[in-house]
Structure 1
Amino acid sequence: MPVIRISRARRRAALGLTLAALAVGATTGAGPATARTAARAQAAAAAPAADCGAAYRIEQKLATGTTWRMCWGYEREAGLVLEHVSYQPPGEPKPIKVLATAKLAQIHVPYDDGGNEYSDLTRAGFGYGLLDLTPAECPGGTIRTVKLPEGGDPEHRQVKGLCTTTRSRGHAYHMQSDQNGRTYQAQGKDLLVYTVNKVGWYEYITEWRFQDDGTIHMNIGATGSLSPYDYDAGDGRGWPVGKGAKAYATSHSHNVFWRLNFDLDGSSKGRVEQYDSQVSAPARGQQGPTEKTTGTKVAKELAGDARNSRWWRIVSATGKNKDAHPRSYEIVPGATTKYLGRPFTKHDIYFTEYNRCEQFASDNLRNCGAGHGRSVDAWVNGQTLTHPVVWVNVGFHHIARDEDQQPMPVHWQGFSIAPRDVTAMNPLTPPALADQNGHVRDGS
């Protein structure tokens, strides 16, 4: 029996979503100008203005002195969207702009038996599935009301579904001085922004975590229930759950994409750099192997793959820290299981030239013109990167286990971006060590 993922109400919402999306470029072969006009009108209705009002503004000064600022909006397919994200650590006279927009770009769910394959953002009513949160789910924080886009359940339009709160994460640093034995330590604080969206039996926690040291974590947590319509008595592709070996839950993948549009120091014209390290055997007279790291400018669109000692960063076109080093953010991949069944999931990261029409990594609903392609792999076609957009793919192969019922524990997947030379020193440096930039002073 096919996997049933959405209720009748959710099916109606998904149908409304599909029809509305088709209306964006309803005429066959509608040109890019028509698509761009419709996309602009839709985006204007869904997202707050650059100087968003109080209802759409998030501003949090953490106990360690760092302030994060951003606007939030809510889209029909992507759900929560963050805009104009800035970071101001202690000692910086003004906010440092980091991201113009950040959002989910797809949750692609293919089943191992080939019977079902879903695009949970663009074809399964993800945005309409926002759930109300209770105070217990947002400890010490604020729950904001989200007005859902038209086209879904008219009785489910106002949802208390966005939580902003703070949380301790443990040590931000620990250092015992060799000179005077004094211990320097600080406990880190994070700002958390999250929603919960229900799609069929699954419930997705979309979490954005902003650390006081400038790091941003993007995570998706999948929970809810295993679909009871999955129990196919075993086809060699599942795992037995329940008593004996009669009920087999079909294994499947969750391929999650994020779309990041950087705005470092207020400029979209950052450059992309890739770094690779090579280890060589010890030369004569050396105690150990040598390792050399080489950076390469990524001048054109790229479909990239994570490898040992490989990483990427987005470098500011205009801003430098107090040491005169260009500011940048490094992309830090999370644990992933690559799904090789579709072209768009075969790579870990994509860098494409900005195109407003390109919003979803697969099953892109907007009509971008004849021959444009509907997935991110088709958009890597050799354009020069002047305004790079970053697409990150993190996969999880879900082979069910007895512990997955009932309810199913959250399984997380995600990645981070970490500041690299955004500030001249650790932004949480204590005053007693503030003069130790590039050297260690005796007696510290």
Structure 2
Amino acid sequence: MSTDAPRTSAPSRLALLIGPVLLAMAASLTAGALPARSDDTSQADSLGCGSAEVTRTLTTGSAWRMCVRIDRIKGLVLEKVQFRPATGDREYSGWLPVIDSLYLAQLVVPYDAGGFAFNDITEYGFGDLHLLDQNEQTCLGDIMSVQQSTMSGSQYSERTSPGICLDEVDTGLGWDSKGSEVDGTDNDRYSQQGSALEVSSISKISWYEYQQKVTLTDQGTITVGLGATGDLATSIFSDDPAIGWPIGSEHDEATAEHAGSHWHNAVYRVDFGIGSGAQQVQQWDYAQPDPGPRGRIEGTGTIQTQAFAADDDPDPQTWWRVLNPTSLNRDGHPRSYEIANDSIQNPYDPLTRPKVSFTNDHACQEYASDNLNAGCPGLSVPDYVAAETEPLTDPVAWVSVGFHHIVRDEDQSPMPAHWQQFSLIPRDLLAQQATTPLARSCVNGGPFTIYGSCAADNLAVPRIMVGAGPIGPGTVLSSDTGIWRPARSPLGYQRVWLRDGTPIASVGGDGLPINATAEEYTVTTADLGHEISVRVDASADGVIPGSATSSALSIPPAAGPTGSPPTSGPQHRAKPRLKVTVPARGKPRLKIRVWGNLGAATGRVVVRAPGNWKRARTLHHGRVTVRVPKAQLKKAQAKRGKRLVVKYQGDARYRPLKHQFRPHRR
């Protein structure tokens, strides 16, 4: 922490150890007040953490659930973290436990000038009055209220704080694969934008504001980050360039300052819970027996059976994973999570030198240093490693994520957030990636070819063709088969003509019903006043079958009292309805729905906003949510500003539609 005076806001060590009764009371008040979403999980299948339970299904279909709370000392805490892939029964339809608990166990901030070093977690705490309220500027998603206990000297009080942000965010291109290099179309291309759930809180410690953020992606990756923003403090530091950096004008002695360089050493505690039962830690090291740019590189995986700290200066290729040898994916491989930590570590402190240390889970080992738990007071991670005598079967990873802050002019108020983070990446958690489309579901192992869809995948529904003139009994209808992805085997097509969605049947020579399945269908008097459509069933050997149904063609009813039968020309695409909603509290998101008499629309929606901003998104069940930057939203709200434009591009049933509007101020 940068500061120009001793930190008078920090509670004393005595206040933090106020006694087991008050600490127990505080712990009971940290659960969030946002109820679990009833559409995602039942009460009988709950995690047992009451209003602290969070369940979110992402736009891409994958889902996360967990218990989220604010601890008065640790700040943001995630517990019982579970993942459910979008692929469902094809891979795993239930919840996969992955993490028992995750939180920031210490933040060590020593200054290069010497004499100043702070342990922001155990000396201050990220909860209590240090927790800042979320608002529409800090949180673009849902704000979750928490009950907080606070201590001011010996005075204990409680408050409700909107302290946790839950936000689904776009992560950019999730995946893209084009099967055929020679096919000039996109018929054999597979693409999807990724999404993730961000869980975050903000705490103010002296001059700094820290955002604790955990990002949980639709692929099962968990990225843990600490962002530092706020303001700089400079006055206690000399102008020695060896320990800082000049800021302010060199031409004005009154404003010239010198900010001290310092470290932010975050040490996280990750208690793994992949499935159930004993787990293992595996270290992978690499070597090149025959040196040279094209020499063979060999990797060796070693199961670490005892607690350990990584080497002070490990090979950059070395990595670690936690695996469960009895929890196997569909392919029979043990599920695991890899720790990816590309940050630098402070080499001058035995606590922060190792990229990662591993111990067994012990309830008293709560903090990475200056431990406040009465069961093992004052100890640190090196002490935990040295004291461990049992085999490493219930692993806790202590991950050190460093950032050496060399201040710059641009860090002056308000300082842009700078980030330090690591990721937990699923390795063999599933047999395939978590959002694999059905069309690529058979690409698993070998031998295989990347060309051709695994399933009969329709890209454009069939169309009914009718000649000119009035439609009535005797009119001959025909149809195409629609457009389908190139499959691994040539597709065969079977038509089934439908009246009001039900197969049209006649009685065959054997007295049994026969569905109308010819390429053509002749309208009969039974069709008058009804809707005719055609379903095309596609199949092939070794290919998952699929179906697609055309838009409905309305057959005019019988002639009215005047004796003049109504007429109708060829079927045209219908006009859809388009509704755009801006959520309350001015959140910069548009909820778009496109539908009509033929049901939910398909296809894409393009949103344009002032400042040449544009986003294109694909409808899912006729709906899509598009995030609009707050600056563009404000421009569109201005009285003389340009309006937002939402354009639906149309599909085989509905024609294009454009809607311009000015979002209301809220």
Q: TM-score, normalised by structure 1?
A: 0.88
1:257-302, Cα deviation, whole Å (9 max, x unpaired): 11011111134x211000011123269xxx9210111100010001
Superposition CA RMSD, Å: 2.6
Determine which of 259, 264, 280 is the counterpart of 2:269. Answer: 259
Distance, in Å, in 1 between the alignment partners of 2:381 and 2:450 is 54
Distance, in Å, in 2 between the alignment partners of 1:312 and 1:149 is 38
Distance, in Å, in 1 between the alignment partners of 2:14 and 2:263 is 23
Secondary structure of 2:219's counterpart equals coil
Distance, in Å, in 2 between the alignment partners of 1:183 and 1:237 is 54
Paired residues of 1:2 and 1:115 also in contact (CA < 8 A): no
Residue 154 (structure 1) shift: 6.7
Paired residues of 2:235 and 2:257 also in contact (CA < 8 A): no
Determine which of 287, 290, 293 is the counterpart of 1:281. Answer: 290
Q: Between Structure 1 and Structure 2, which shows a larger proportion of helix residues? A: 1
Amino acid at match of 1:116: F
Alignment of 1:35-114 (within 5 A): 46=30, 50-53=47-50, 55-90=51-86, 91=88, 92-114=92-114
Give the corresponding residue for 2:223: 217
1:171-210, Cα deviation, whole Å (9 max, x unpaired): 1111111366422111000100000000000100000000
1:48-106, Cα deviation, whole Å (9 max, x unpaired): 895111x2111110111101000112212101111110000022210000011111111
1:150-177, Cα deviation, whole Å (9 max, x unpaired): 3148788322111001000111111111
Paired residues of 1:39 and 1:366 also in contact (CA < 8 A): no
Is it true that 1:131 corresponds to 2:132 in the alignment?
yes
Paired residues of 2:29 and 2:149 also in contact (CA < 8 A): no
Give the corresponding residue for 1:314: 322
Distance, in Å, in 2 between the alignment partners of 1:438 and 1:346 is 40
Secondary structure of 1:114's counterpart equals coil
Determine which of 421, 424, 439 is the counterpart of 1:414. Answer: 421
Give the corresponding residue for 1:158: 160
Distance, in Å, in 2 between the alignment partners of 1:342 and 1:253 is 11
Larger radius of gyration: 2
Secondary structure of 1:345's counterpart equals coil
Give the corresponding residue for 2:4: 3
Give the corresponding residue for 2:148: 148
Distance, in Å, in 2 between the alignment partners of 1:196 and 1:50 is 25
Determine which of 234, 237, 240 is the counterpart of 2:243. Answer: 237
Determine which of 389, 399, 404 is the counterpart of 2:396. Answer: 389
Distance, in Å, in 2 between the alignment partners of 1:431 and 1:137 is 38
Distance, in Å, in 1 between the alignment partners of 2:374 and 2:349 is 21
Amino acid at match of 1:166: E
Secondary structure of 1:294's counterpart equals strand
Paired residues of 1:201 and 1:227 also in contact (CA < 8 A): yes
Paired residues of 1:234 and 1:247 also in contact (CA < 8 A): no
Amino acid at match of 1:65: G
Amino acid at match of 1:276: D
Secondary structure of 1:229's counterpart equals coil
Distance, in Å, in 2 between the alignment partners of 1:87 and 1:442 is 28
User: Aligned pair in 2 of structure 1 residues 51, 442: CA closer, same or farther (>3 Å)?
Assistant: closer
Give the corresponding residue for 2:408: 401
Distance, in Å, in 2 between the alignment partners of 1:80 and 1:4 is 27
Determine which of 353, 365, 369 is the counterpart of 1:362. Answer: 369
Residue 42 (structure 1) shift: 6.8
Secondary structure of 2:149's counterpart equals coil
Amino acid at match of 2:397: V
Residue 362 (structure 1) shift: 1.0
1:335-368, Cα deviation, whole Å (9 max, x unpaired): 22x2133221121101012111111111111233
Secondary structure of 1:19's counterpart equals helix
Determine which of 313, 320, 326 is the counterpart of 2:334. Answer: 326
User: Aligned pair in 2 of structure 1 residues 46, 158: CA closer, same or farther (>3 Å)?
Assistant: closer
User: Aligned pair in 2 of structure 1 residues 398, 375: CA closer, same or farther (>3 Å)?
Assistant: same
Distance, in Å, in 2 between the alignment partners of 1:355 and 1:39 is 19
Amino acid at match of 2:284: Y
Deviates more, 1:192-201 or 1:169-178: 169-178
Amino acid at match of 1:138: C
User: Aligned pair in 2 of structure 1 residues 389, 40: CA closer, same or farther (>3 Å)?
Assistant: farther
- Unaligned residue ranges in structure 1 (runs of 5+): 25-36
Distance, in Å, in 1 between the alignment partners of 2:127 and 2:439 is 49
Alignment of 1:188-203 (within 5 A): 188-203=194-209
User: Aligned pair in 2 of structure 1 residues 42, 168: CA closer, same or farther (>3 Å)?
Assistant: same
Give the corresponding residue for 2:608: none
- Unaligned residue ranges in structure 2 (runs of 5+): 33-45, 453-666
Is it true that 1:247 corresponds to 2:257 in the alignment?
yes
Secondary structure of 1:334's counterpart equals coil
Determine which of 165, 189, 193 is the counterpart of 1:187. Answer: 193
Give the corresponding residue for 1:291: 297
Paired residues of 1:238 and 1:399 also in contact (CA < 8 A): yes
Distance, in Å, in 2 between the alignment partners of 1:107 and 1:389 is 18
1:299-352, Cα deviation, whole Å (9 max, x unpaired): 00010144221111110143111001110001111322x213322112110101
User: Aligned pair in 2 of structure 1 residues 413, 250: CA closer, same or farther (>3 Å)?
Assistant: same
User: Aligned pair in 2 of structure 1 residues 442, 334: CA closer, same or farther (>3 Å)?
Assistant: closer
Distance, in Å, in 1 between the alignment partners of 2:80 and 2:238 is 47
Distance, in Å, in 1 between the alignment partners of 2:74 and 2:409 is 31
Amino acid at match of 1:322: R
Give the corresponding residue for 1:303: 309
Distance, in Å, in 2 between the alignment partners of 1:170 and 1:70 is 24
Distance, in Å, in 2 between the alignment partners of 1:436 and 1:51 is 38
Secondary structure of 1:403's counterpart equals helix
Give the corresponding residue for 1:28: none
Residue 19 (structure 1) shift: 2.1
Amino acid at match of 1:256: A
How many percent identity over aligned positions?
A: 35
Give the corresponding residue for 2:358: 351
Residue 132 (structure 1) shift: 1.0
Distance, in Å, in 2 between the alignment partners of 1:77 and 1:154 is 15
Give the corresponding residue for 2:432: 425
Deviates more, 1:150-159 or 1:292-301: 150-159
Deviates more, 1:210-219 or 1:157-166: 157-166
